[in-house]
Structure 1
Amino acid sequence: MTDLFLPLQSLKQGDWFKLICGASFQHLPAVRSLTLAYTLAGADCIDVAADPAVIAAAQSGLQAAKSLARDAQKRGFDYKGNLPFLMVSLNDGEDPHFRKAEFNPHECPTDCPRPCERICPAQAIVFDSIKEDFSGVVSEKCYGCGRCIPICPYSIIYTASYVTTPGAIAPLVMSTGVDAVEIHTQVGRLAEFERLWQAISPWADQLKLLAISCPDGEGMIDYLRALYDRIAPLKGALIWQTDGRPMSGDIGDGTTIAAVKLGQKVLAAKLPGYVQLAGGTNKYTVAKLKAMGLLKEAEGQGAGGRGEKFSPLLPAPCPPSSISGVAYGSYARVLLSPILEQLENKEVSNINMKANVRLEEDEVLLWQAVELAHSLVSQIKSQQEH
Structure 2
Amino acid sequence: MIELYSPLDSLKSGRWFKLICGASFQHLPAIRSLALAYTLAGVDCVDVAADPAVIEAAKEGFAIARQIADAANQGNRPWLMVSLNDGEDPHFRKAEFDATQCPSDCPAPCEKVCPTDAIAFSEMVSGVIDARCYGCGRCLSACPENLIFARSRVSTPETILPLILQPEIDALEIHTQAGNFRHFQRLWKEIAPRSDRLKLLAISCPDSPDLLDYLASLYELISPLSCPLVWQTDGRPMSGDLGKSTTYPAIALAQKVLNSGLPGYIQLAGGTNQHTVSVLKKKGLLGRVAGVAYGSYSRKQLTPLLDRLEAQSLADGNKPYLECYPDLLWQTVALARESISQIKPSLSS
TM-score between the two structures when normalised by the length of structure 2:
0.96
**Partner Cα distance (1:245, 1:379) in 2:** 21
Q: Structure 1 residue 347 and structure 2 residue 313: aligned?
A: yes
1:378 matched to which residue of 2? 341
**Partner Cα distance (1:327, 1:123) in 2:** 23
2:19 matched to which residue of 1? 19
Structural RMSD (CA): 1.6
**Partner Cα distance (1:97, 1:239) in 2:** 18
1:324 matched to which residue of 2? 290
Tell me the SS of whatever aligns to 2:178.
coil
**Partner Cα distance (1:385, 1:134) in 2:** 41
Q: Structure 1 residue 106 and structure 2 residue 100: aligned?
A: yes
**Partner Cα distance (2:315, 2:125) in 1:** 18
Equivalent position amino acid for 2:94 in 1: K
Contact 1:36 1:64 in 2 (8 A): yes
Contact 2:340 2:347 in 1 (8 A): no
User: Which ranges of 4 or more aligned residues in structure 1 deviate by more than 6 Å?
Assistant: 383-386
2:173 matched to which residue of 1? 182
**Partner Cα distance (1:260, 1:81) in 2:** 30
**Partner Cα distance (2:251, 2:106) in 1:** 39
- Residue 125 of structure 1 is aligned with which of 103, 119, 134? 119
In 2 relative to 1, CA 275–384 (structure 1 residues): closer, same or farther, beyond 3 Å?
Answer: farther
More helix by share: 2
Q: Percent identity?
A: 57
Q: Kindly report which structure 2 residues correspond to 1:353-368, keeping only aligned pairs within 5 A, or say none.
A: 353-354=317-318, 356-368=319-331
Q: Kindly report which structure 2 residues correspond to 1:132-143, keeping only aligned pairs within 5 A, or say none.
A: 133-143=124-134
Equivalent position amino acid for 1:83 in 2: R
Q: Structure 1 residue 260 and structure 2 residue 251: aligned?
A: yes
**Partner Cα distance (1:384, 1:291) in 2:** 21
Residue 341 of structure 1, CA deviation: 0.7
Tell me the SS of whatever aligns to 2:244.
coil
- Residue 87 of structure 2 is aligned with which of 86, 93, 110? 93
Q: Structure 1 residue 162 and structure 2 residue 153: aligned?
A: yes
- Residue 227 of structure 1 is aligned with which of 211, 218, 240? 218
Residues 102-111 or 86-95, more deviating: 102-111
Residue 68 of structure 1, CA deviation: 1.1
1:54 matched to which residue of 2? 54
**Partner Cα distance (1:208, 1:9) in 2:** 12
Tell me the SS of whatever aligns to 1:118.
helix
Residue 86 of structure 1, CA deviation: 0.2
Contact 1:276 1:325 in 2 (8 A): yes
Q: Kindly report which structure 2 residues correspond to 1:63-78, keeping only aligned pairs within 5 A, or say none.
A: 63-69=63-69
Contact 1:103 1:156 in 2 (8 A): yes
Contact 1:19 1:328 in 2 (8 A): yes
Residue 70 of structure 1, CA deviation: 5.5
1:304 matched to which residue of 2? none
**Partner Cα distance (1:125, 1:52) in 2:** 24
Contact 2:341 2:347 in 1 (8 A): no
Equivalent position amino acid for 1:91 in 2: N
**Partner Cα distance (2:146, 2:305) in 1:** 32
Note the alpha carbon deviations across 1:237-291, whole angstroms, 9 max, x for none: 1000000000000001110001000000000011111000000000000000011
Note the alpha carbon deviations across 1:331-368, whole angstroms, 9 max, x for none: 00000000111111123323xx33x2201111111111
Contact 1:31 1:54 in 2 (8 A): yes
Q: For structure 1, list consecutive stretches of 5 or more residues without a partner in the other structure.
A: 74-78, 297-321
Contact 1:67 1:81 in 2 (8 A): no
Contact 2:337 2:348 in 1 (8 A): no
Residue 110 of structure 1, CA deviation: 2.0
Equivalent position amino acid for 1:370 in 2: V
**Partner Cα distance (2:310, 2:96) in 1:** 23
Q: Structure 1 residue 244 and structure 2 residue 235: aligned?
A: yes
TM-score between the two structures when normalised by the length of structure 1:
0.87
**Partner Cα distance (1:344, 1:180) in 2:** 30
2:191 matched to which residue of 1? 200
Contact 2:341 2:348 in 1 (8 A): no
**Partner Cα distance (1:369, 1:383) in 2:** 18
Note the alpha carbon deviations across 1:206-249, whole angstroms, 9 max, x for none: 10000000000011000000000000000101000000000000
Residue 175 of structure 1, CA deviation: 2.4
Contact 2:272 2:293 in 1 (8 A): yes
Aligned residues: 344
**Partner Cα distance (1:244, 1:223) in 2:** 16
**Partner Cα distance (1:158, 1:289) in 2:** 36
**Partner Cα distance (1:226, 1:123) in 2:** 40
Contact 1:15 1:383 in 2 (8 A): no
Q: For structure 2, list consecutive stretches of 5 or more residues without a partner in the other structure.
A: none
**Partner Cα distance (1:176, 1:345) in 2:** 34
Equivalent position amino acid for 1:86 in 2: L
Equivalent position amino acid for 1:84 in 2: P
Residue 384 of structure 1, CA deviation: 9.9
1:38 matched to which residue of 2? 38
